[in-house]
Structure 1
Amino acid sequence: MKKILLSLLLLFSFFINAQTVAIQSFATGFSSAVAIVHPPNDSRLFVVQKTGAIRILNTNGTINTTPFLTITGLTSGSEQGLLGLAFHPNYASNGQFFVNYTNSSGDTVIAKYTVSSNPDVANTTSTTLLTIDQPFSNHNGGSLVFGSDGYLYIGMGDGGSGNDPNGYAQNLTVDSSNPSRIFLGKILRLDVDSASPYGIPATNPFVGQAGKEEIWAYGIRNPWKFNFNRLNGDLWIADVGQDAVEEIDKVSNPLPNTGLNFGWRCYEGTSSNITGGCPAFSSTVAPFTQYNQTTARCSITGGYFYTGSMYPNFANKYFFADYCSGEIGLVSSTGSITWALDTPSVITSFGEDVNGELYITNGSTVSKIIDTSLSNTNFDKNTIRVYPNPAKTQITIDNSSNTTFNAIQLIDITGKILYAENNLNATSKTINTSHFTAGLYIVVAEDLNGNQFKSKVIIE
């Protein structure tokens, strides 16, 4: 028993001070996956394929054969196609969801769909909210996300080419020949509940100014991607750079309604770029953090601020990646960046499940992001299991190799032993957990020869 206690003290010493980020393959067989989304209070993941299909990924790693939705008549170029998906906050009752795609003319379409009577299949009819003219094929943005205010936020790139040649990101004057281009290089905010197809939130900064009332913020180059912290409403934006800097912006909740200017094309990160006619840098929103491009790093892929409970070492970290290098980076509360893992391929998108646990995709495979500093040590290659996990009233520890347990402990993340039983001489043990506080715990089992098995378990 002293051996178990010493092992756990060492384990938790490492656990508290470090994490080892790794990825674990969860499902494969996708084509050009660019988004992973879940409906509110729904454990399924919906994987968006740039080629036009949305596919359902179940909690056991299986993929539904029939797509949830297939959109036809779109363009699927290198930065075009079906790019974004957002479920209405009241999806469970109204069945509404919204997509961002590039139509056959190369323009961005924001459309509303509904689910059919079959929860795994959507209706094919849609309502178009916006069609935005795109002058080039790149910098389409793609993200659309509901904020805690219930409004739909839409991220638009600057229209493409390089260095925003037409100055769309800073432009706030409607061009009568191409009026929708006022939305390029902007973040739009719509009220999809107050009118059909949408209304304008009363707090939008340009309310009453015809043609641009939808704009919430401007000065964006190509937001790939942005997401809200689901617990506190903070907005995190990953804005792809030009030739030098990749930028991460953070806007704390409650979000301001003053028409934030994130600076592009005047500034690339904190560096001056094309500054003629530009505001002073001090009047723009400075990046929360940034990193320089290198021969390997060249394009940021935005992720999520970790809000899950499985890996406490991930707490207070924002996860992102560099598309070109395939590296996963972490941003601390002070804005410092740690490059935590170099994956073997590109990373096209992150995803977050209903519990706040994180996923990535390289386009064909969806993988979980895990912390291996709490890895399991098995008696005999995965013969031990702890279930159910998450648990509510009880957990069972048993094994398929008929290994005899001598001792079992349940320990909280501070190292405190909450349950201990010795001289078990049993191959299975059920523990009552109904009186434990919800959180992460460690199960430690020891066999007659002193071999140990450790497993994480969540008690709800």
Structure 2
Amino acid sequence: MKKILLSLALLANCIAFSQTINLESFATGFSSPVEIAHSGDSRLFVVERGGSIKILNSNGTTNPTPFLSISSLISSGGERGLLGLAFHPNYSTNGYFYVNYTNTAGNTVIARYTVSGSDPNVANTGSATILLTITQPFSNHNGGSIKFGPDGYLYIGMGDGGSGGDPGNRAQNINELLGKMLRIDVNTGSPYSSPANNPYVGIAGADEIWAIGLRNPWKFSFNRNNGDLWIADVGQNAYEEINKVASTQAGLNYGWRCYEGNDVYNSTGCAAQSTMTFPIAVTSHNSGNCSITGGYVYTGTIYPNFQNKYFFTDYCSPRIGMADNSGNITYSNPFNGNSFVTFGEDMAGELYVAAINNGTIYKIKDASLGTADFNKNDFTIYPNPAKTEINIKSNGNTYPEEIVIFDTNGKQVHHQKTKNPELINVKTSHLATGLYIIHITDNTGNTATRKLSIE
């Protein structure tokens, strides 16, 4: 057993440094998808900029009837439209969900809806309650993301109101809701209240503000493991930025318009640099970036390589980036022909990304677990990742005689002997989602150790 555990440890060490991203087409046919959310079950809800929310099932099919359609209420195109969706933490019992859209006047609206009492796949369109309307002076920089934090409050990412360079200096103005991260309590008040520990409650400044100094936060998210808040903020001329802070840090100033990334942009009338919170990572327009799209920290179990990595991309550069907790970034190869604008996270923590230009939802996978990983050896194992079964094929004169599968704690979860020299089928439907180690002993007594992922 010591030898097995040692091999597991060595293999895990190798896995930690292998970071190869692959995309698998999961569903097609969407019109300008800009958000993907889940309600605590296996369904994904895909938000279309034009005003519809569609249900995407775990088998890749899309329900023919939209969950919600509010196209008559919104102005869409460019950076406007139906932009955000968040399900109440108690959605399974109260049926509440929240949307962020620009209305026909171009202003931001945060509204609550309720699911139908008779059909869980359809919303009650007559249940709308408007919580908040924020005037937008220009058509761009509307933000759009809304998320419930680990504290149960609703967070709203607001852009600076648009144009270029924040001409109204709104992001630094504590009496304006634009250019801010807002935080409201949707469980008390009419239609909401501001939590008592919001930084400007009871003093000068808007009660709803949680943080200031954002330009256009195009996607933020909370790490489900530790609550950290990650914000991708779109830059002006030179840099895109990624911010990471503890979700309990109130009253931060992310620096815009005083700073773009780490560089001074327009410091007229700005507070001291020491009062600003600077990004954990920046990307340069010199490398082809132009508009960052934030995603999630991977908290799933299928791909250990991805653990504790924050996924992001850029509208102008079709690569998927991964940032670690120190801000070090690695990139995938380009997925040419795609303009990515949103990520999605399912209930298990697995990740998806959507291309607005072709309406495709892709599942993000670790390509290093593919068949090619084994072809250089005596055996080919496929598919990998697997669901209900794998096949083991001999590539040489030897053949597998014994197959043993262990979980990452070293516990044996499957044992199988065979004398078939051609092709061996191993059932894996009894295995839970996650990473396993497979030992293959051939007819000469040699043993090969490989990694196996079950999804």
Q: TM-score, normalised by structure 1?
A: 0.85
Whether 1:249 aligns to 2:251 is no
Out of 235, 254, 268, the position equivalent to 2:260 is: 268
Amino acid aligned to 1:115 = V
* Residues 320-347 of structure 1: CA deviation (Å, up to 9, x unaligned): 1111111111111211111223111111
Larger CA deviation: 293-302 vs 120-129 = 293-302
**Distance of aligned partners of 1:36 and 1:44 in 2 relative to their CA distance in 1, 3 Å threshold:** same
In structure 2, the partner of 1:67 is 66
Partners in 1 of 2:385 and 2:218 — Cα distance? 39
Q: Secondary structure of the equivalent of 2:83?
A: strand
Distance in 1 of aligned mates of 2:209 and 2:86: 19
Distance (Å, rounded) in 2 between the aligned partners of 1:99 and 1:371: 32
Give the Cα separation in 2 of the matches to 1:115 and 1:431: 37
Partner residue of 1:286? 278
Q: Residues 443 and 457 of structure 1 are in contact (CA less than 8 Å); yes or no, is this contact kept in structure 2?
A: no
d(CA) in 2 for partners of 1:383 and 1:185?
47
Give the residue type in structure 2 aligned to 1:456.
L
2:8 and 2:408 in contact (8 A); partners too: no
Aligned counterpart, 2:43: 44
Q: 2:313 aligns with which of 317, 321, 328?
A: 321
Q: 1:397 to 1:330 in 2, by over 3 A?
A: closer
Q: CA deviation at 1:11?
A: 6.9
CA distance in 1: counterparts of 2:294 and 2:384, whole angstroms: 37
Tell me, in whole angstroms, the C-alpha distance in 1 between the residues paired with 2:257 and 2:449. 55
* Paired position in structure 1 for 2:452: 456
Q: Does the residue aligned with 2:125 lie in a helix, a strand or coil? A: coil
1:139 is matched by which residue type in structure 2?
H
Q: Where does residue 102 of structure 2 map in the other structure?
A: 102
Name the SS of the counterpart of 1:326 in structure 2.
Answer: strand
Render the CA deviation track for 1:407-445: whole Å, top value 9, x for unaligned: 3221445888765443354965557968x9x84214466
Per the TM alignment, residue 384 of structure 1 is displaced from its structure 2 partner at its CA by 9.8
For residue 195 of structure 1, report the CA deviation from its aligned partner. Answer: 2.0
Pick closer, same or farther for the CA change 1:131–1:271 going to 2, 3 Å: same
Match of 1:196 in 2: 190
Map 1:379-398; keep pairs closer than 5 Å.
387-388=387-388
Q: Tell whether the 8 Å contact from 2:221 to 2:230 is kept in structure 1 after alignment.
A: yes
Deviation at 1:77, TM superposition (A): 1.9
Rate the CA distance shift 1:272–1:106 in 2: closer, same or farther, 3 A: same
Matched ranges for 1:115-130 at <5 A: 115-116=115-116, 117-125=118-126, 126-130=128-132
**SS of equivalent residue, structure 2 residue 92:** helix
What is the CA distance between 1:232 and its match in structure 2? 1.1
Aligned-residue offset at 1:381: 10
Map residues 29-40 of structure 1 onto 2, 5 A cutoff: 29-40=29-40
Comparing 193-202 with 379-388, greater Cα deviation is found at 379-388
CA distance in 1, matches of 2:23, 2:138: 35
What is the rounded CA distance, in whole Å, between the counterparts of 2:437 and 2:100 in structure 1? 42
CA contact (8 A) 1:81 1:102 kept: yes
Please state if 1:205 is matched with 2:199.
yes
Identity %: 54
| Matches for 1:53-452 after TM superposition, within 5 Å | 53-73=52-72, 74-116=74-116, 117-125=118-126, 126-173=128-175, 182-209=176-203, 212-253=206-247, 255-257=248-250, 259-294=251-286, 296-344=288-336, 345-363=338-356, 364-376=359-371, 387-388=387-388, 406-413=401-408, 419-425=414-420, 428-429=425-426, 439-443=434-438
CA contact (8 A) 2:382 2:390 kept: no
Larger mean CA deviation between 272-281 and 404-413 belongs to 404-413
- AA at the equivalent of 2:144: G
Change (3 A) 1:238 1:50: same
Query: CA 1:381 to 1:413, structure 2 compared with 1: closer, same or farther past 3 Å?
Result: closer
1-side partners of 2:442 and 2:370: how far apart? Answer: 18
Letter in 2 for 1:357: E
The answer to whether the 8 A contact 1:68-1:122 is kept is: yes
CA distance 1:415–1:341, shift in 2 (3 Å): farther
C-alpha distance in 2, partners of 1:27/1:37? Answer: 15
**Structural RMSD (CA):** 3.3
User: Does 134-143 or 342-351 show the bigger shift?
Assistant: 342-351
Distance 1:427 1:271, change over 3 A: closer
Distance across 2 between alignment mates of 1:383 and 1:295: 36
Letter matched to residue 363 of structure 2: K
